[in-house]
Copies of this chain bind each other. A is one copy, B any other.
């Protein structure tokens, strides 16, 4: 590997000048700049990260802007686990995360968290852009030298370093395929419980699920809206009302992590031809999966998303590497027999 010193020798200049060119710090004539740049290109120079980090001696603070971990039935805890794991593996590089939580039902809360993160001058941001309306304006307020990465969702028209997420439509298709397998080819009626307030993800999932059955005349899909904000008793009532309004419902597709609440509500009324498929490997869902009250959980690999998000920031900020701009996470199919790997 060629060094700055060797480049300087080849150019007949000093390392200071080479360094100035490398970092665009000016005070270099155009001819020398060109000369040095051509040598850099020819030799394929790459900076030695060890020397760099030793010299810089900086700690890298990444800001994580995400909903309160307990929201969505603890779904965001999973993301945090992946983020924390990445931080742990990168302690040698002085990487530290600061969390800026917000209430996912409050735009002002989101904007406040975002402002704080910007004020604290983070070296990079990991954002869960669940609030589609508030996000674009906030993203514009991020200083141009601060890279940001999306997890969970993405915001069109913005320019993140990377966007990490799952194909929600396709995950709905997977849910439908599994549902058809469970119910059997004879078909019947299946219900989609769309959780309110619904977001982009949830609608895509519903769409994917429905489109799978659209050319299968033996299946009928009913979509119901359920208030995810209701307390347990009220919620169970709502589910039961829906259940009794369908004559013979073969299965339920729940579009978010609240699957366990649906499964519990159905538990009394449930017979073995009533199936439940839902999302996200939160503890309660896994418990009911093992117990048999839930048949399948579709995993977004949320933990891996958090891990990959911090890793992307690390590679860009610390190692100065370029990285894939878009990462699609696999659609994980989880049942009682393989759920122990999705804690």
Contacts and interface: CB of A to CB of B under 8 A. Distances in A.
Interface of A: 1, 46, 48-51, 53-54, 89, 92-94, 170-171, 173-174, 177, 181-182, 184, 315, 319, 321, 328-333, 335-338, 341-342
30 contacts: A1-B94, A46-B92, A48-B54, A49-B50, A49-B93, A50-B50, A50-B54, A51-B54, A54-B54, A170-B338, A171-B338, A173-B337, A174-B335, A174-B337, A174-B338, A177-B335, A177-B337, A181-B181, A181-B182, A184-B184, A328-B341, A330-B332, A330-B338, A330-B341, A330-B342, A331-B337, A331-B338, A331-B341, A332-B332, A333-B335
Contacts of A92: 46, 49, 319, 321
Contacts of A177: 335-337
B319 A341 contact: no
Contacts of A335: 174, 177, 333
Instruction: Pick the 10 closest A-B CB pairs, nearest first.
Output: A330-B341, A331-B338, A333-B333, A50-B54, A50-B50, A50-B53, A174-B337, A49-B92, A177-B337, A173-B337
A162 to B, nearest CB: 15
Nearest to A89: B315
Contacts of A170: 337-338
Nearest to A329: B341
Contacts of A93: 49
Nearest to A328: B341
A329 B340 CA distance: 10
Residue from the set A93, A330, A342 with the largest chain B CB neighbour count within 10 Å:
A330
Nearest to A323: B89
Contacts of A181: 181-182
A318 to B, nearest CB: 10
A1 B94 CA distance: 10
Contacts of A49: 50, 92-93
A118 B39 CA distance: 39
Nearest to A315: B89
A21 B197 CA distance: 61
Contacts of A94: 1
Nearest to A51: B54
Nearest to A174: B337
A49 B51 CA distance: 10
Task: Point out which of A89, A171, A331 has the most chain B C-beta atoms below 10 A from its C-beta.
Answer: A331
Nearest to A49: B92
A235 to B, nearest CB: 29
A87 to B, nearest CB: 14
Nearest to A1: B94
A331 B328 CA distance: 19
A21 B49 CA distance: 28
A91 to B, nearest CB: 8
